[in-house]
Amino acid sequence: MTFRFSPRPNRASEIGWREWSERAFQEAQVSDKPVLLAISAVWCHWCHVMDETSYSDPEVIRLINERFVPVRVNNDERPDVNRRYNMGGWPTTAFLTPDGEIVHGGTYIPPDAMRSYLGQVADVWSSQRGELAHRVAELREKETATRAPQAGDLSWEIVDAVGSLVRGQYDPQFGGFGREPKFPQPKILRFVLDEHRRFGYPELATMLHKTLAAMAGGGMYDHVEGGFFRYATTRQWEIPHYEKMLEDNAELLAVYAEAHRSFPTAGYDRVVRDVIRWMDATLWRDDVKAFAGSQDADEHYYALDVGERTKHGAPFVDPTIYTSWNALAASAYYAAALALGEDRRSERASAALRSVQERLIRDGSLHHVDGATAPRIPDLLGDAAAWLNALLDGYETGEHGRALDFASAAASRMRDRLMDHELGGFFDAPQKSHEPGRLARRERPIDENALAAEGLLRLAALTGEQEWRDLALRTLRSFAGEYRASGQFAASYANAVARALAEPVVIAVVGPSDNATAEALWARARRSTDPARSLHRLAPDRDSEALARLGFPADRVAAYVCVGTVCSAPITEEGSLARQLEEATARHARGD
């Protein structure tokens, strides 16, 4: 395996790094040495600094090579490792026992402290093994008890409780949530937007506008080339960390696109076009028809104006193709196409999905990363959930009828390989008895389960198959007793619960692809901003099986609005469809 180090001069490669593997931990057991786990990322500024300082210090290099088994992990390639071992950020520096339990750790550790830690941990491992093993076992037991699943019933109290947490964290002076550092929090922003769409609370619109304007107008945004940096170090959004991530920009692009649909005069379309400009120019790989993973941080480069930048080499772009991030990007481009009324934006989204389909599905498994010789890391929940939703987004453009079948297959694969049969919900990865350390124990991340449940609720509404809704509800219930521990970061979970509690609205438009009445009805259907709506565009010449399954007559051009299991009479006028959709929004109302 080829390890990536800082692009600037360093000696980190002189450390005898091993990749994460059963073999590395077996080596630690045989040699009776602790493991030094370094979790880094290609885009990570402080990871580069650690390579240039601590991991370039001659004494640090000697101590690691002599007294540890060093393991280096790329966070983007192994989110399953990062979830279990991250110590609060990147880089993560974790000292482990040979069986993978955490002894000590932190993030960036400067050379003097690193030399001290290395000596202390190695000495303790040699002289106080019994005491250390006892302490590690106690910590693990407490951690296991704290994270034990707690099921419960779904109610609007969950949505309201998370809403209160979000309001409590909102910064009314500068926008955003919390103080500093300021992260963009796209999942929270989407929750706020959807809550406004459900209930129309004016303070939610204020929170949204203040935050979206501050992020796009401040230092966290690249006003020369477009795109958002990863986060701002100050409460005022002034000084950023200069990494640009596909994941962050895809989620923010979707938020700004949806905000433009709800608030078309607020100017968010400018941000949408600008983010796309950067993603197209910098991350799009025309050779494989997919998006690269990230662009490196470079404080000097991003301080230059457009003329000066052209004289310097742009920061490194990690060309790796990641499934979940490409799925998020596809969903965002579909949202942008709808928001801007520019169908050509959908073409790149569809191309990215085809590339994932062709390159990353092998032997019935959806793989996380497009490796040098073969796709790697199969069947992670984050990939499966994002892929499912992206397929449904593609289907709801009306251009990809087969995407619904692909979505059903994706849901089946997720159910068969990741479902927690005992408690409900989904594990983050398949059972892997050969994996070392904490990877042998499966976890149930609330955010990825929320995205999975969202996709399953959508799939159930579109197919009419109750199994998918039942699976989504069981997933959401399995977190009902523990979501509070996630605080405001349970926003995506609360959003999925809100969708589950509202009767689904399915809008079906039937008619030939070139029929003007059908196209006018379809355009109006797509303008709906109901957070729990799903869409069918059914043309008799291509969708006869779906029409027969759903029970809509093939010989009539009309729209149908179905709330729950009750469908409207055929609607043939755009104004009538608008009134029917307006009436459907009343189902969100509830007594206080």
CATH class, range 12-146:
alpha beta
User: Over the Cα atoms of the chain, what is R_g?
Assistant: 25
Nearest to 404 by CA among 416, 394, 417: 394
Shared fold status for 12-146 and 156-501: no
pTM of the model: 0.96
Instruction: List the pLDDT tens digit at each of the 592 positions of the chain.
Output: 689 999 999 999 999 999 999 999 999 999 999 999 999 999 999 999 999 999 999 999 999 999 999 999 999 999 999 999 999 999 999 999 999 999 999 999 999 999 999 999 999 998 887 787 778 777 777 777 666 678 899 999 999 999 999 999 999 999 999 999 999 999 999 999 999 999 999 999 999 999 999 999 999 999 999 999 999 999 999 999 999 999 999 999 999 999 999 999 999 999 999 999 999 999 999 999 999 999 999 989 999 999 999 888 899 999 999 999 999 999 999 999 999 999 899 999 999 999 999 999 999 999 999 987 778 999 999 999 999 999 999 999 999 999 999 999 999 999 999 999 999 999 999 987 778 889 988 899 999 999 999 999 999 999 999 999 999 999 999 999 999 999 999 999 999 999 999 999 999 999 999 999 999 999 999 999 999 999 999 999 999 999 999 999 999 999 999 999 999 999 999 999 999 999 998 888 765 5
Segments making up each domain of the chain, as ranges:
12-146, 156-501, 506-588
From residue 151, how far is each of 422, 430, 452, 477 by CA, in Å?
11, 22, 17, 5
pLDDT of residue 586: 84
Nearest to 537 by CA among 546, 527, 529, 528: 546
Question: What HEC string does 525-539 produce?
Answer: HHCCCCCCEEEEEEC
pLDDT of residue 146: 65
Tens digits of residue pLDDT in 170-210 = 999 999 999 999 999 999 999 999 999 999 999 999 999 99
pLDDT of residue 145: 66
Q: Give the fold, CATH level 3, of 506-588.
A: Glutaredoxin (3.40.30)
pLDDT of residue 147: 65
Two tokens, residue 121:
């941990």
Residue 416: count other Cβ atoms within 10 Å of its Cβ. Answer: 11
Q: Give the fold, CATH level 3, of 156-501.
A: Glycosyltransferase (1.50.10)
CA distance 103 to 139: 10
Kindly give the residue spans of alpha helices, DSSP state H, lying in 228-322. Answer: 246-262, 268-278, 299-302, 306-309
* CA angle at 405 for the pair 322 and 197, rounded to the nearest 5°: 75
Cα separation of the two ends of the chain: 58
CA distance 521 to 499: 24
**Which amino acid appears at position 386 of this protein?**
A
SS3 71: strand
CA distance 64 to 89: 21
Core vs surface per residue 435-461: b (16+ CB within 10 A) or e: bbbbbeebebbbbbbbbbbbbbbbbbb
Query: Greatest CA separation found in the chain?
Result: 83
Residue 292 near residue 285 (C-beta atoms within 8 A): yes
CA distance 115 to 129: 21
pLDDT of residue 277: 98
CA distance 12 to 24: 18
pLDDT of residue 132: 78
The DSSP 8-state label assigned to residue 207 in this structure reads H
Name the residue with tokens 């993978």.
100
